[in-house]
Amino acid sequence: MRQLHIRVAKENKSKVTSVLDDHGADYTALSEDDSVHLFSPVPTPAVGDVLNAIEEENVGSDAYSVVTRAEFADTPKLPDLQDKYSSTVRTLSKQELQGKIREIQWPYQIYYVGTLLSVIAAAAGLLIDLPSLVIGSMIIAPQVSSALAVPAGTMLGDWKMVTSSVRDQFLGLALGIVGAAAFAFLLQEFGFVSTRLAVTNLELLGLRASPTMLSTLGAVVAGIVGAFGYTTEQSTALIGVMVAAAIIPAVAAVGIGIAWSLPVFTYGAFLLLLVNLLSINVGATVTLVAMGYLPEWWKDDESNLTSFRESLPSKSRTSVYAVLALVLVATTGTGVLTGMNVAFSQDTTQAVEETLSQPAYDSLTLTAVQPSYGGLPRSDEPINVTVAVSHSADESYPDLASALERRIEERTGRDVTVVVEFTGTRTAG
């Protein structure tokens, strides 16, 4: 439930009271000099309808409204009003959502410092293969404050929020990549981590080698959950962690790849970062549209004369168009490259399964196939493919890597280098 506090000039009092009466809401009016303060308890889903109706009445530029949470109210008309909205999802009004998104946005100084610290913590966790440290980096990451601002600002027509959020994301993630690379380089220089360490063989880092269908799906879900959580009264305590999980480890992986001079790994991790960012925004945007948060220029209404161009502030049109063009190019490019990589991963997995299905390898059990990024068709560098298998018999398979390499190259037409990791198992009878 919400408590509406609306202040208008006395000559506009009847416009507001007529709206409240039309919606079946009780109210209290207090006069003060040449203005009137009206207080009305309404169900949460009714806030948007009431405020929009009042805005259409043109109650004057000096009017203001305040929405606060109300724990309990007992008025004659309130039960009927609650019954009317009982089957409606308790979403926040556009005004409330805009205020909530702005409230969770961190001051830029803290945002950049928080991003840098979270990425450094994630880089440390990736290098020592410690999941708890990586999870901790997600908890302190401030990315949810900017990641959800872009789709929310687009749906609310707040283009200043959109452009400032894109700027914060770009600068924050660039700072994170530089910070992670510098941190990893210093670890090498001072001997805390060997320069000969095969970082791509670390499990947590290997998972960030390239975008996959499952990682993309996870980022989309993070955007959906984020949008749903911030537009309703559901708990939002863990939403920031889920959004950061798709961003912060990928940023740290890019920095580590730069420090270890691994161009293919760095490129794949960077593409993973872009895909996750775009997927979060796509998931959040679709959710906002499904929940009814449509901008004025989008509505199919004969009385709506606002076009997309007219919805943009004249001073911000150039920057908004530039941002939209950047998003379009990034979406198209990452979509094509990700599709190529997913196709390569599928072909690689199928080639491995075909090889291991031969009778000579009946005692082997496939546990994992981890190819590095394979979206660059003309790269001169071989693509690394790690295949993990377990076996219970005391047998050796010296030709397995070569057999897998030949089958993968035949199926994909790409130059690959295959590493096979064996895990021995024994069963006590």
Dump pLDDT digits (tens) for 394-414.
677 888 899 999 999 999 888
* CATH architecture under which domain 103-312 falls: Up-down Bundle (1.20)
Average pLDDT score, the chain? 83
CATH number for the domain running over 2-88: 3.30.70.120
Residues written for the chain: 429
Domains 2-88 and 103-312 share a fold: no
With a cut of 60, say whether residue 429 has pLDDT above it: no
| Tokens, residue 240 | 């920031």
Which residue would you say has higher pLDDT here, 286 or 206?
286
Give dist(CA 422, CA 367) in Å, integer: 10
Give dist(CA 364, CA 404) in Å, integer: 13
User: Residue 118 has what pLDDT?
Assistant: 93
Percent over 70 (pLDDT), the chain: 90
pLDDT bin (cut points 50, 70, 90) of residue 253 is very high
Residues 6+ apart with CB under 8 A from 231: 91, 92, 97, 287, 288, 291, 293
User: Residue 381 has what pLDDT?
Assistant: 73
- Give the model confidence (pLDDT) of 17-76 as tens digits: 998 888 889 889 898 888 899 999 988 888 878 888 888 888 877 788 888 888 888 888
- Homologous superfamily of the 340-424 domain (CATH): Cation efflux protein, cytoplasmic domain (3.30.70.1350)
User: Residue 32 has what pLDDT?
Assistant: 83
User: Residue 337 has what pLDDT?
Assistant: 80
- In sequence order, what are the beta bridge partners of 28? 39
CA atoms within 13 A on the CB side of 49: 18
Q: Average pLDDT for residues 174-187, to the nearest whole number? A: 94
Percent over 90 (pLDDT), the chain: 15
User: Residue 265 has what pLDDT?
Assistant: 85
* Long-range contacts formed by 164-169: CB under 8 A, 24+ apart: 165/105, 166/323, 166/326, 168/108, 168/111, 169/143, 169/277
DSSP-derived secondary structure letter, 366: E
Which residue would you say has higher pLDDT here, 316 or 339?
339
Domain ranges of the chain: 2-88, 103-312, 340-424
Residues 6+ apart with CB under 8 A from 384: 200, 264, 371, 372, 416, 417, 419
Q: Of 199, 354, 312, whose CA–CA distance to 265 is shortest?
A: 199
pLDDT bin (cut points 50, 70, 90) of residue 302 is low
User: Residue 156 has what pLDDT?
Assistant: 81
User: Residue 67 has what pLDDT?
Assistant: 86
Asked if residues 249 and 177 have their Cβ atoms less than 8 Å apart, the reply is no
